[in-house]
Amino acid sequence: MVIKRSIGEKVFSVCNILFMILMMVVTLYPFWYVVTCSFSDSAQLIGARGMMMLPKGFSLASYQAVLQNPNILTGYRTTLIVVVIGTTLNVLMTAICAFLLTRKKFALRGVMTYMALFTMYFGGGMIPTYLVVYKWLNLGDSLWALILPGAISTYNMIIMRTNFAEIPESLEESAKIDGANDILILFRIILPLSLPIIAVMVLFYGVAHWNAWFNALLYIRTRAKYPLQLVLREILLMNDTNQMTAGAAASDRFFLGESIRYATIIVATVPILLVYPFIQKYFVTGIMIGAVKG
Amino acid sequence: MKATITANNTGTDLRKHFSLKTKVKNELWQNRYLYLLAIPVIAYYVLFCYLPMFGLVIAFKQYELGKGIMESQWVGLKYFQEFFGGIYFGRLMRNTLLISFYSILFGFPAPIIFALLMNELRQRRFKKVVQTVTYLPHFISLVVICGMIVDFLASDGVLTRMLTVFGGQKTNYVGDARYFRAIYVISDIWQGIGWGSIIYLAALAGIDQQLYEAAVIDGAGRWKQTLHITLPGILPTIMIMLIMRVGQILSVGYEKIILLYGAGTYEVADVISSYVYRMGIGQSRYSFSAAVGLFQSVVNVILLVAANKTSRRLSGTSLF
């Protein structure tokens, strides 16, 4: 079918494309600006911080300072631990919960569904949760305080449950005849059939752990245990670059402090930027499932 | 106990009693692996979701750490009265409601409009690129985003310099009370417009294509199609999102507020949840801040239910 398009529609199409290009520039330029600044020579940067397309001069001094900073390194380590252990636990618990809520013969299914759904609408809030985690369960200053609370995101669990519910029951029944118990059914049949949604969950939870900072602000007291984002906050928002410039001559310190902030942003964000193009399609799938069927 | 006593009286009760007991036993034994799996899940929900809910009773008590919840003295609505009568109540409500209002007014339609425009793109590859690029900021941590906002809008920041070209002042915008809310809302839109559009794109993809073909035959242009097919098609999704948004009116994204505000901007930026944080964690006023938090949650639930009812009556769409 040939669709004739009026002049108005053609004009609209062109404007729309221009608008989209503008949107992309507005989205990407801030990041590009940070990249250029991070590679710039600090002394030249102070003088010329307008719109930049390329670095002013070229220097890796700020990266050197960032990568030698003990806080950044311990922050990286803490964050990696929390991402790996936390995400594993998240996915495991979410899968188990979703699995239980699809077992039709399970007597607690109804009760547990309500128990989970209710938490989406009402909760104890910041202070009671803080008291429970910090004082009663005694998880204060422990990395478990960053891992255990929020082990199951009910929203993610529902996405997973929707996915599990679509697996034909006949597959499980034949396994049951062969003598498989429920745990085997979950790990040998349901999970291997759900790899795409597991990928989505790994990514949802993993990025959330990587970016989390507020829970550490609440629960972590020892500086050596600060996750990356909390270290970042000190550098970016509390202007604490003194430690990093300690090695530099006093006159350079002020200048270096400027570009160090940009280099810090890059160092902390590069892992996300590197995996982003690969994970992007999975994220979208996850949202779509939640949107269309949830 | 009761069951055993009656069981001793008559034979029929005895059978009933046994049948119930065996039923429970059977269920437990047959699904023993499911019950095993349920232990960590139930433990999680009880410890980290329901125990804090129970912990809300401290809002009605004078909670002292040494005494524990049970021994602490009941004080009724003392802390609620203190909050409602306090000097900050008006300021907190005003800031929370205003920031939420601006967020809904500008931030809510933005991804819808963006999705509609993206839907009009006929070039598949180009559309994919636009999507990939605009989803990106969603994955960048809030700390980094706020760090960039503060840096770009400092008195010698890149955005400030660009604004001076258009006659803007050379000032530290984030620290200026006049601009705080605008910065908050605009940066939210910047970060979330792409990601927020996904759900509407999904809804758009679900619209029956035959409707468009029929409309073309009837001579409807793109604008008419949008008005009469596309918008009604995604209306249920819009309503669901709006209901959920209204249910969060009192919980402005406090993480961002806490990252961005400072003594100079408390007057316009301090919202209920950032206040709860300062009172509760900063000053260890647990009962008082729990009361404020409870007030916030309860109002949110009421708003959610009200929005849900209104939507069901007006558009036939509802969340529950």
Same-domain status, B137 and B46: no
What is the CA angle B276-B277-B281, rounded to 5? 115
Which residue range forms the structural domain that includes residue A93?
A: 74-224
Same-domain status, B44 and B139: no
Q: Would you call B304 an interface residue with chain A, using a CB distance cutoff of 8 Å?
A: yes
The dihedral through the CA atoms of A167, A171, A177, A179 has a sign that is negative
**Angle separating helix axes A109-121 and A154-165, nearest 10 degrees:** 140
For residues A234-247, average pLDDT: 68
In a 10 Å sphere around its CB, with 0-12 CB exposed, 13-18 middle and 19+ buried, how is residue B235 labelled? middle
Q: What is the pLDDT, as a whole number, of residue A245?
A: 57
Report the percentage of chain A scoring pLDDT > 70: 85
B306 neighbourhood in chain A, CB within 8 Å: none
Interface touch B45/A232, C-beta < 8 Å: no
Q: What is the pLDDT, as a whole number, of residue B42?
A: 97
Same-domain status, B174 and B237: yes
Q: What is the pLDDT, as a whole number, of residue A219?
A: 96
Q: What is the pLDDT, as a whole number, of residue A242?
A: 56
Question: Model's pTM, two decimal places?
Answer: 0.89
Interface touch B135/A207, C-beta < 8 Å: no
Q: What is the pLDDT, as a whole number, of residue A233?
A: 93
Interface touch B293/A51, C-beta < 8 Å: no
Q: What is the pLDDT, as a whole number, of residue A253?
A: 54
> At which of B40, B65, B90 does a domain end?
B65
- Any idea what DSSP says for residue A189? I
Query: A126-180: per-residue pLDDT in tens?
Result: 999 999 999 899 999 999 999 999 999 999 999 899 889 988 888 888 888 888 8
B262 neighbourhood in chain A, CB within 8 Å: none
> At which of B15, B43, B65 does a domain end?
B65
Q: What is the pLDDT, as a whole number, of residue A294?
A: 41
Residues 73-102 of B with CB under 8 A from A: none
Q: Would you call B307 an interface residue with chain A, using a CB distance cutoff of 8 Å?
A: no
Q: What is the pLDDT, as a whole number, of residue B167?
A: 84
Q: Would you call B29 an interface residue with chain A, using a CB distance cutoff of 8 Å?
A: no
Q: What is the pLDDT, as a whole number, of residue B170?
A: 85
Least confident among A125-129, A238-242, A247-251, B238-242: A247-251
Q: What is the pLDDT, as a whole number, of residue B155?
A: 83
Nearest-by-CA chain B residue for A98: B41
Same-domain status, B41 and B124: no
B58 neighbourhood in chain A, CB within 8 Å: 128, 131
Residue A270, Ramachandran bin (φ over 0: left; ψ between -120 and 50: alpha; else beta): alpha
Q: Which has more confidence, A241 or A277?
A: A277
Q: Which residues of A126-160 are buried (b: 16+ CB within 10 A; e: fewer)?
A: bbbbbbbbbeebebeebbbbbbbbbbbbbebbbbb
B122 neighbourhood in chain A, CB within 8 Å: 13
Say how many domains are in chain A: 1
Q: Residue B72: inside a domain, yes or no?
A: no
Intervals of chain B under pLDDT 70: 1-18
Q: Residue B253: inside a domain, yes or no?
A: yes
Cβ atoms of B122 and A13 closer than 8 Å: yes
Q: Count CB pairs under 8 A between chains A and B.
A: 246
CATH code at position B226: 1.10.3720.10
pLDDT at A100 over 90: yes
For residues A43-56, average pLDDT: 70
Which residue range forms the structural domain that includes residue B283?
A: 79-315
Interface touch A128/B53, C-beta < 8 Å: yes
Alpha helices in chain B (DSSP H): 2-9, 11-30, 32-45, 51-55, 68-71, 78-85, 89-102, 109-119, 124-135, 142-152, 158-165, 180-205, 209-217, 222-225, 231-246, 254-260, 266-269, 272-277, 286-315
> At which of B18, B35, B65 does a domain end?
B65
Same-domain status, B198 and B282: yes
Q: Residue B285: inside a domain, yes or no?
A: yes
Q: Would you call B190 an interface residue with chain A, using a CB distance cutoff of 8 Å?
A: yes
As for the ipTM of the complex, it is: 0.89
CATH code at position A213: 1.10.3720.10
C-alpha closest to that of A215 among A119, A141, A120, A135 = A141
Q: Residue B56: inside a domain, yes or no?
A: yes
For residues A29-35, average pLDDT: 93
